[in-house]
Structure 1
Amino acid sequence: MKQVLLIDTPPLFREFLKEKLSSERIEVETTGGRYDAFAKMVSLLPDLIIIDVPQNFQDLTEFFEKKRADPNANSIPVILSGPLPPREVVAQLPSYHVIKYFNKPIKFDIFFEFIGQTLRTPLSIDTTQSILEMHLNKNIIFIEIAQGLNREKLALLKYRIDEMIEVNKVITPKVILMISDLRLSFVDGINLHLLLTNVTFDPRIQRKNIKILSTDQFVRDFVDGHEEFRGVEVVDNLSTVLNKLVTDNPRDDISDVISRNILTATEDIGEASVEMRFRSEEGIASIMNANKNERLEIAIIDDDPITRKILESAFGSLKSQIDIFDSGTKFLAAAGQKIYDVIILDIFMPGISGFDILNALWLKQYPAPVIVYSSAAQKTSVIQALSLGAKAYLIKPLKPDAIIQKVLEVLNTKV
């Protein structure tokens, strides 16, 4: 059996590595400090050593010099992880049989692939497309999952939650789990169980403080059918989640609550040990950077104040001018005087509907692309909107990044 020695790895990183490597029948040993690391290394003579680098690399020099002087330990390969090292440090590494240096946060799929190559024991990696993002605001941990359920990311989740709570010293943590754009069935049951088990794993998070935002009936039935998740609530709209977790005062205006508590800057001050993205996944940041020099003129038409507030804040991260309309009448009056770069449009609104607006824009040959963002999920609504010229149809609720990405995709393909 192959053996790996972990030296000075942070708790999240250590436990995640142990769980993954042990599941692949690789023996894992750990040591809490470099001072006894040499003794443990020479007694085990592992196949691979993984070391977390301190801020001062010179603290490792004594260990490496002892290792190089020992004929049995000298050739053991070493993987380092840590902050970006100075150039002079990089030049020293090959002489210590350091075969790879991973800057943090580590993309774990690359990391495990390299470990497998080094040990000549390929490690299984679930490559299911999945976007899993986390951020902290006040004492609320937001977990957003889109596209699919990836078991590697789900396994990391419980450690990432623990790290976020510890680093930020969160008192009475609460969780909003957003899986609103996933449609699951019984074949996803095993992965959904892993997700919920890891979200509820930390004893500091009470079940009543975990809300799942999903319109999927399978998710609701699954939670209701498992006693271990009793107390966790599945809700189908953002207002319900925010009213229950963000404010204890039923008289609070929910749009003000969103602005004050949700749309402010994150307080997640701790950098993660492990990156939640695969190397093949391009984040929204790269797409936004490609468009950072363009000033976008964006129109948002929606009668729901919560949606307007969320979209306004989301698009505020772009270099853009945003005009907000709570009715189709007001928008059409403005569109007669101004050409927008893109229009975000709801369908069912009092008075003039989204279909009416699409028809009016089509008759005027208005040049701006329209993206429908609506809770209307009927096939007939989608077909009608697209036939009237909408470039994309998004079903509420979606995370803001997904909406921004679709907008930028449409703009980048516009002729």
Structure 2
Amino acid sequence: MKKILVIDDSSLFRTFMKTQLEEYGFEVIEGINGLDGLTKMRNQLPDLIIMEYYLSRKGALELLKAKKMNPNTKGIPVVIACNDINREKIVSVANYNVKKFLAKPIKIDLLLQTVSETLNVKIAVDDTPCSLDAHLNDKILFIEIAKGFNREKISLLKYKIAELLKLHKIASPRILILLTDITYRDEDQSKLETLLQSISETVTSHDNIKILTVSEKIREVLSGNLYYRDIEVVKSLEKAIDGLLGKRGLEEMTAEKSNVHESLLSSAVDDNANSTVHLNFQDESRLGGDFASGEKKYRIAAVDDDIIVQALIRKTFDGYDWPVTTFGDGRDFLKDFHADDFDLIFLDLMMPDVNGFAVLKFLKENDVEIPVIVLSALSRKESVMKALDFGIKSYMIKPLKPEGLIAKTKEILTAMF
């Protein structure tokens, strides 16, 4: 059995890695910081080390130098995960048997591919096309799955939920599961049960969970399930929100209420598009660290033709003294674009001239890794679902609130996945 040492200050990340990799037959050893990782590396001699670049007690470079000096550990391959990969970091570890850098947020399929290639073992990954996103909008935790059920992506969900609830300090969430553009197969039953199990663990009662779908097959499967048949399945967004928030709940959530549920239920996604997963992990050791202290000035681009939205974003981040550059449309943004100019982009999809989709296409074709948060009205759900295939990190529903912008930015900029 191959042994993998995972060194990271975040217990949530280590727990995920242990659970995920053990499913594929690996023995996983946890290092809670750089010093602990070095000790376990020397004592247990793993076949592979997966480590965060920023570690407490002993930094990555110090650990790698100590590893190289020991003839027993010198040859162990290393994979490094890091939020901000640059040439300087890559060059600094070039002589320490580092096989690969994985950019955070990490893509689970790339992680498993890297482990497979490095250890020369085969890992059978579920390749079911699937777009999955979990986000908190005001008072409701939305969990959206499109195309199909993917085992690896569903297994990540409970960690994302834990991250969001901790970040927003929510003890008992109200959860809406949207299965509005999904193909259900008989072999998906176990995946659906895993999904519901992860969600049910976070609520005090199934009354706080609603499922929005038009699939009679999903409704039939759930009605026959002893554990989950009391979860209400609805076809109308208005009914789901009413059930979770009470009457007028939907009116409080969005200013654009016309044809909302029709837009959600008619979401059209290209079946041949590359699937992406939009799930984050929180690095507990640095949560609220340089983000709140002002040690780093994150540079933000706000691309929206609404000057009120531009002003709101600019004012929101004035308190952090972060520079916000505003653009009226995609053409203005792309005219003198340089990838090093920004750390985060807020992007409206519906703009005159060059819209948000053209911007997303440009960023994807040029391998630009800047996190993008899409701004959208709830009634434009179809557009949001299409945007997911461009690898956006998350999206926010208009109208926007300053506290929501801060929470979402914190979530994205401190993400591990």
Q: Which residue among 292, 297, 304 is the counterpart of 2:330?
A: 292
- Equivalent residue of 1:143, what SS? strand
Shift of residue 205 of structure 1? Answer: 5.3
Shift of residue 57 of structure 1? Answer: 11
Aligned runs of 1:9-408 on 2, under 5 Å?
Answer: 10-54=10-54, 59-202=59-202, 204=203, 206-245=205-244, 247-248=245-246, 250=247, 252=248, 254-259=250-255, 280-281=274-275, 292-293=330-331, 317-320=349-352, 399-401=381-383
Structure 1's 19 and 320: CA in aligned 2 closer, same or farther, altered over 3 A?
same
Structure 1's 200 and 110: CA in aligned 2 closer, same or farther, altered over 3 A?
same
What is the letter of the counterpart of residue 318 of structure 1?
A: M
Structure 1's 283 and 231: CA in aligned 2 closer, same or farther, altered over 3 A?
closer
- Tell me which residue corresponds to 1:348: none
Distance in 1, Cα, partners of 2:94 & 2:166: 35
TM-superposition CA deviations, 1:335-360 (whole Å, max 9, x none): xxxxxxxxxxxxxxxxxxxxxxxxxx
Shift of residue 214 of structure 1? Answer: 0.8
Shift of residue 55 of structure 1? Answer: 7.5
Q: Aligned pairs, how many?
A: 288
Quote the sequence identity (%): 30
Distance in 2, Cα, partners of 1:40 & 1:173: 38
The answer to whether the 8 A contact 1:12-1:160 is kept is no
Distance in 2, Cα, partners of 1:169 & 1:279: 35
- Equivalent residue of 1:181, what SS? strand
Residue segments in structure 2 that go unaligned for 5+ positions in a row: 258-271, 279-303, 305-328, 333-346, 354-378, 391-417
- Equivalent residue of 2:233, what SS? strand
Shift of residue 191 of structure 1? Answer: 2.2
- C-alpha RMSD of the superposition: 3.5
The answer to whether the 8 A contact 2:16-2:159 is kept is yes
Structure 1's 403 and 150: CA in aligned 2 closer, same or farther, altered over 3 A?
closer
Structure 1's 211 and 195: CA in aligned 2 closer, same or farther, altered over 3 A?
same
TM-superposition CA deviations, 1:196-218 (whole Å, max 9, x none): 2222233x453211110012122
Distance in 2, Cα, partners of 1:232 & 1:153: 22
Structure 1's 219 and 119: CA in aligned 2 closer, same or farther, altered over 3 A?
same
Distance in 2, Cα, partners of 1:253 & 1:319: 29
TM-superposition CA deviations, 1:17-44 (whole Å, max 9, x none): 2222111111111021212221111111
Distance in 2, Cα, partners of 1:187 & 1:19: 22
- Equivalent residue of 1:106, what SS? coil
| Higher Cα radius of gyration | 1
The answer to whether the 8 A contact 2:3-2:47 is kept is yes
- Tell me which residue corresponds to 1:309: none
Structure 1's 283 and 227: CA in aligned 2 closer, same or farther, altered over 3 A?
closer
